[in-house]
Chains A and B, each alone.
Chain A
Amino acid sequence: MSMPFYVSPEQLMKDRADFARKGIGRGRSVVVVQYADGIVFVGENASRALHKVSEIYDRIAFAAVGRYNEFENLRIAGVRLADMRGYAYDRRDVTGRGLANAYAQTLGTIFSSGGEKPYEVEIFVAEVGEVVEDDQIYRLTYDGQIVDEHGFAVMGGSADTVTGHLKEHYTADMSLRDAVRAAVEGLEHSESSPRVVSPEDLEVAVLDRSRSQQRKFKRISAELLVSILGDRRPSPAAEDGAGDQADGSTDSAAPQPEDADASPPIAPPVAPPVAPGPPTPHQPTDPASPPDDPGGPHPPVDPGDPLS
C-alpha cells in the first residue's frame, strides 16, 4: 500500500502560482492608459489576426496576456455574457464591473481547484464612462484577484519596468497622442537596452467616449499609428527582440523553449498586482506565499487590493 505523498497547501498554491506566472512572464506586456477622451490599450503584437485587445460591448473592452487559447476562451465567454445580458435586459445594464466579477470568480475557481491547470493569463477589463471619473479599469490575475486600477496599468512579462517608465511620464488628461507615445516608449524600455518597436508590431485600440456611435471601441489603424508616433526607424537590435514572440500566436505556443530566454523577463516575471504605487513592490511577501486566511477562496491576498 502506498502512502500518498504529502504536499502542504502552501506549497501547492505556490507551485501553481509560480507555474502561472512563468507562463505569463514569457509574453510581451500590454499597457492601458486613461486619456482625456477615453482609454487606450497598447500591446506588442505582430499578428494582425490574433488580437490581444478586443471589444466586449458598447463601452467595455478586454485585453489579455498569456496563453492565447485560454484568454480567447475567456474573451468569447465575456462577449456571450455581455450580449446575453444586453439582450435579456438592456444595453445599459451591461457593466464592466459585472464582467470583471464573473472573470474573477472563474479564474479564482480554476486556480484553487485541484483538477484543473491554472490559467496562464492576466486580463484587463476596462469600461469607458461618460466622464473621466466614471472610467473603470480592472486588472485580473491568474488566481482571480481583481484590482481596480487608475490612470494606467501594465501587465505581462516586464510589467515592472514599463510601470516605472509610465509613472514618470503619465499625467492625467493626456491627449491620445501623448498617451500612445508614453505607452509605446514604456514598452520600448521593457528590456535591458532600449529599442524601437515598429508600428506594425503594435496593437492599439481605444474606447473613445467622444465617438458618436453606441459602440465606443475602435482599433487604431497602422497609418494613424505611424502619424501619431512620427518618424522612428527600428534599429537592427530592436528587430532581434521583436521577432521572438510578440504575437498572440506564439504566446499561445506550448511551453516556450529556451530561446524565449533570449530576452529574459525581468525577475520576478510578473509583479504581483500593484496599483500604481512605488515602483518596487511594497508588499513584503510573494502573493502566493502562505495565505493568512486558509479559509479564503483566493489564497493569495494582495495587501494593496481594495477589494480584499
Chain B
Amino acid sequence: MSIPDARLPAHYLVPGSSSFAEFLSQQAPELLPNRRSLPAGSAESLAPHATTIVAATFPGGVVMAGDRRATMGNIIAQRDIEKVHPADEFSCVGIAGTAGLAVEMVRLFATELEHYEKIEGTTLSMDGKANRLSALIRSNLPMAMQGLAVVPLFAGYDLAARQGRIFSYDVTGGRYEETAFHSVGSGSLFARGALKKLYREDLSDEECVTATIQALYDAADDDSATGGPDMARRIFPVVAMVTAEGYRKLPDEQVAATADRVFAGRLQRPDGPAAALT
C-alpha cells in the first residue's frame, strides 16, 4: 500500500484550462453527470421528471418562473421541487426533464461559471455562458436517447447589451436565443399560448411576474404533469428575477400575494384574463 501524498496532485498545479468540467473529466471523471453507461432500453420511467418553466423579459431584465411538481408516470413524485436555480450573479437556469440529472447539471454549470470567474478574474459573456451550457447538454445526448433527457431554459441579464436574454436548448445541445418570452417542459405549449396573449414589451417587473404566474396557471390547467398553485399547502411557483442588480429569488410572500390575486381572478373567469380581439 502506498502512502497517500498530502501534497496537491501535480495536475492541480498545471496551468491551463479554466474550465471546471474539463478539469473534472481529467481528475475525477466519475463525478461528471454524463459519464455513466446505461444498459440498453428506456430508462424514462425510472426517475422523476421536472415539468414547466417559463421566462419573459421586461425592460429592466428577465423573470423566470417554474411550477413545483415533479412526476413519475402518473405519480406526483414531489410537490415542492425547486426548478429555477441561480447559475451565477447575473443568470439563472430552469430545468425540465429528468430531475436528478438536471439538478446535477445545473450544479456543474454553476461551478463551471464560478470557476472560470475565479481563475480568469472576469466573468464569461452571456453568450459564452449559454455556449458552455450547450456543451454540457450535448454531452448528455446518449442518456437523452434512452429517455433521460435534460432540457434547461437559460436566462440572464446581459451586462454588455443591458437587457434580459433568454436561451432555449434541445437535447443535442442546440442553442436558440428567444425574443421576449419562452417556455419549456410538458406544459410549455399551454404556457406559451397564454404568454402570447398576455405579454407586452412594456410590462413592468411586477406585471411580468404576474404574466408568468398566469402562464403557469394555464399550463397546470391543461397539463397533468404541471402543478398549479397549491392553495391548501400554500405552495407557489418559484420566481426569480435577474436585473442589472443581479439574481434575486422573489420572497415567498410576494409570490403568494400575486398567486392569490391570479387565483381570485380565476374564480371569476376560470380561463383567465380575456385579450382584446383586435
Complex partner residue of B28 from A72, A77, A88, A103, CB under 8 angstroms: A88
Check B119–A87 contact: CB distance below 8 A: no
Contact B114 A102 (CB under 8 A): no
* Neighbour of B121 across the interface among A49, A86, A101, CB < 8 A: A49
Are A87 and B7 in contact, CB atoms less than 8 angstroms apart?
A: no
CB pair A73 B20 closer than 8 Å: no
In-complex Cβ contact of B6 among A72, A76, A87, A101 (8 A): A101
Contact B31 A80, beta carbon cutoff 8 Å: no
Q: Would A106 and B8 count as touching, CB distance under 8 A?
A: yes
State the Cβ distance, A238 to closest chain B Cβ, in Å.
28
Within the assembled complex, what's the spacing in Å between the Cα atoms of A128 and B273? 51
Contacts of A49 in B (CB 8 A): 121
Give 1 or 0 for each of A73-95: 1 = CB within 8 Å of chain B CB.
11011011101101110000000
Q: Which residues of A contact B239 (CB under 8 A)?
A: none
Residue ID in chain A nearest B112 by CB atoms:
A83
Q: Which B residue sits closest to A113, measured CB to CB?
A: B7
B43 within 8 A of A: no
Separation of A221 and B67 alpha carbons in the complex (Å): 40
Contact call B8/A102, Cβ cutoff below 8 A: yes
**A residues 17-54 in Cβ contact with B at 8 Å:** 49, 51, 54
Q: In the complex where A84-B28, A88-B28, A106-B7 touch, is A77 in contact with B111 (Cβ < 8 A)?
A: no
Closest to B88 in A: A215
Given the complex of chains A and B, what is the CA–CA distance between A101 and B6 in angstroms? 8
* A64–chain B nearest beta-carbon distance, Å: 14
CB of A171 within 8 Å of the partner chain: no
A105 within 8 A of B: yes
- Bound CA–CA A105/B111 (angstroms): 26
Asked whether, in the complex, the Cβ of B8 is within 8 Å of the Cβ of A81, the reply is yes
CB distance from A109 to the nearest CB of B (A): 5
Fill in one digit per residue for A109-138: 1 if any B CB lies within 8 Å of its CB, else 0.
Answer: 100000000000000000000000000000
Which of B12, B13, B111, B121 is close to A87, meaning CB atoms less than 8 Å apart?
B111
B118 within 8 A of A: yes
How many chain-A residues does the 8 Å CB contact rule pick out? Answer: 26
Residue of A nearest to B115 (CB): A83
Is B15 an interface residue when CB atoms closer than 8 A count as contact? Answer: yes
Instruction: Provide the residues of chain A in CB contact with B20, threshold 8 Å.
Output: 80, 83, 87
Contact: A105 with B7, CB < 8 Å? Answer: yes
Q: Which of B99-135 contact A (CB under 8 A)?
A: 107-108, 111, 114-115, 118-119, 121
Q: Mark B24-45, 1 if CB is under 8 A from A, else 0.
A: 1001100100000000000000
CA distance A55 to B119 in the complex (A): 9
Q: What chain B residues lie within 8 Å of A109 (beta carbons)?
A: 5, 7
Q: Is A56 an interface residue (CB 8 A)?
A: yes
Q: How large is the interface on B (under 10, 10 to 19, 20 to 34, 35 or more residues)?
A: 20 to 34
Given contacts A49-B121, A81-B8, contact A76 B15 (CB under 8 A): yes
* A84-B13 contact in complex given A76-B119, A105-B8, C-beta closer than 8 Å: no
A275 to chain B: closest CB distance in Å? 24
Contact B6 A80 (CB under 8 A): no
| In the complex, chain B residues whose CB is within 8 Å of the CB of A55 | 118
| Cβ contact within 8 Å between A84 and B8 | no
A73 contact from B13, B24, B108, Cβ within 8 A = B13
Residues in chain B near residue A76, CB distance under 8 A = 12-13, 15, 119
Complex interface: chain B residues within 8 A of A102 (CB): 6-8
State how many angstroms separate the Cβ of B240 from the closest Cβ of chain A.
15
Task: Compute how far the CA of A213 lies from the CA of B245 in the bound complex, rounded to whole angstroms.
Answer: 12
> Contacts A49-B121, A56-B118, A76-B119: A87 and B107 contacting too (C-beta < 8 A)?
yes
Q: Render B3-17 as a binary contact track against A, CB cut-off 8 A, 1 for contact.
A: 001111000110100
In chain B, what residue has the closest Cβ to A109?
B7
CB nearest to A144 among chain B residues = B7
A49 to B23 alpha-carbon distance, docked (Å): 24
Q: CA of A54 to CA of B117 in the docked complex: distance in angstroms?
A: 11
Q: Mark B125-164, 1 if CB is under 8 A from A, else 0.
A: 0000000000000000000000000000000000000000
Alpha-carbon distance A80/B121, docked complex (angstroms): 14
CB-CB under 8 A from B24, the residues of chain A are 84, 87
CA gap between A180 and B202 in the complex, in Å: 46
Instruction: Indicate if the CB atoms of A73 and B118 lie closer than 8 Å.
Output: no
Contact check: which of A51, A74, A84, A101 meets B27 at CB < 8 Å?
Answer: A84
* Shortest distance between the CB of B15 and any CB in chain A (Å): 7
Other-chain contact of A51, B28, B111, B121 (Cβ < 8 Å): B121
Contacts A84-B24, A105-B7 given: A77-B12 contact, CB under 8 Å?
yes
Residue pairs across A and B with Cβ atoms less than 8 A apart, 9 shown, are A54-B118, A76-B13, A80-B12, A83-B115, A84-B27, A84-B28, A87-B111, A101-B6, A102-B6
Chain B residues in contact with chain A, CB under 8 A? 5-8, 12-13, 15, 20, 23-24, 27-28, 31, 89, 107-108, 111, 114-115, 118-119, 121
Q: 9 closest pairs, A vs B, by CB?
A: A105-B6, A77-B12, A106-B8, A109-B7, A106-B7, A105-B7, A77-B8, A79-B118, A77-B13
